[in-house]
Amino acid sequence: MKKPRKPYEPRQPRPLSAGQLSDLALFYVSRFATTRAKLIRYLTRKLATRGWAEEGILPDVAAIADNLVALEYIDDAVFAEAKARGLGRRGYGARRVEQSLRADGVGDADRADAIEQSGQGKTAAALRYAERRRWGPYAAEQAVDPAVRQKMLAAFMRAGHDFATARMVIALAPGSDVSDLGDEE
């Protein structure tokens, strides 16, 4: 006769030591483009799930992040600029780019510089977004249904574009020439 099996119990992860926490931070930075704030959130989450093996107070995760910033493994300004350019290429507006950088923990000065250096004008970004979605001048046919146009406007607003620019791009006839649209800021 077989022995009855014990119910499955997940194995508890071993608590972290100071060396393991530093190794986790270095591994995370080597694998992902990140900011100081994102690294601190990651290390804090790891400490919460795995625990701390050493006696006494918890380690200073901010000091570990500051050490990696000092070694130039983390650079918030470079991260912000790259992310702003990437989101701009995908057609997102300045408001959405700013929100994304704020969520990543980029400081005010780095965030403003990144948005400025991304060089995206609001009309050009809206046109890139419309091209990606095949709306406005990139559509097969003009959207005349008010409900469809309302959904398009809502999508433009969620993508970080202002109402006037979104309305102007949606109103463009399919196949119209967009090269003459000036990109005013």
Averaged pLDDT in 10-residue chunks for the chain of 185 residues: 81 89 96 96 95 87 96 95 92 92 95 82 90 93 90 96 93 86 56
144 lies in a domain?
A: yes
12 lies in a domain?
A: no
4 lies in a domain?
A: no
Task: Write the burial class of residue 154 (CB in 10 Å: 0-12 exposed, 13-18 middle, 19+ buried).
Answer: exposed
109 lies in a domain?
A: yes
The CA-based angle 117-62-75, given to 5 degrees, is: 20
Among 146, 142, 114, 147, CA closest to 130: 142
Report the number of distinct structural domains present in the chain: 3
The answer to whether residues 134 and 167 belong to one domain is yes
**CA 102 and chain centroid, separation:** 9
The answer to whether residues 80 and 64 belong to one domain is no
- Those residues whose C-beta lies under 8 Å from the C-beta of residue 90, and which sit 6 or more positions away, are 128, 129, 132
The answer to whether residues 94 and 126 belong to one domain is no
Residue with tokens 């620019």: 165
Where b means 16+ CB within 10 Å and e means fewer, 85-123 reads bebbeebbbbbbbbebbeebbbbeebbebbbeebebbbb
Structural domain for 83, as ranges:
76-117
The answer to whether residues 51 and 35 belong to one domain is yes
If one counts every other C-beta atom within 10 angstroms of the C-beta of residue 41, the result is: 16
95 lies in a domain?
A: yes
DSSP annotation of 137: G
183 lies in a domain?
A: no
Looking at residue 119, its pLDDT comes to: 65
6 lies in a domain?
A: no
104 lies in a domain?
A: yes
Report the distance separating Cα 29 and Cα 147, nearest Å. Answer: 46
